[in-house]
Amino acid sequence: MKKFLPFVFAGFLGGMLAFGGLSLITEKSDNLAAQLPDIPLAQNVNFSKPLNAIPLDFTLAARQAMPAVVHIEATESSTAAQKRKQGSPGNILEDWFFGSPFDTPFQLKKGAGSGVIYSSDGYIVTNNHVVDFADEVLVTLSDNRQYTAKVIGKDSRIDLAVLKIEADGLPTLELADADKAQVGEWVLAVGNPFDLNSTVTAGIVSAKGRNIRIMTGQDAIEAFIQTDAAVNPGNSGGALVTADGKLLGINTAIATRTGSFQGYSFAIPVNLMTKVVNDIIEFGSYQRGYLGINISDLDGERAQELGLDITQGVIIEDLADGGAAQFSGLLPLDVITAVNNTPVNSAPELQDRI
> Annotated catalytic sites, by residue?
129, 159, 236
> Of 316, 304, 323, 318, which Cα lies nearest the Cα of 344?
316
Distance (Å) of CA 47 to CA 41, 43, 114, 352: 17, 10, 40, 34
Backbone φ and ψ of 16, nearest 5°: -65, -40
Distance (Å) of CA 232 to CA 209, 224, 228, 272: 21, 16, 12, 23
Q: Which burial class, exposed, middle or buried, applies to 336 when counting CB atoms under 10 A from its CB (0-12, 13-18, 19+)? A: buried
- Round the CA-based radius of gyration of the chain to a whole number and report it: 32
Q: How far apart are CA 228 and CA 346, in angstroms?
A: 22
DSSP 66: G
- Can you say whether residue 173 is alpha, beta or left, with left for phi > 0 and alpha for psi between -120 and 50 degrees? beta
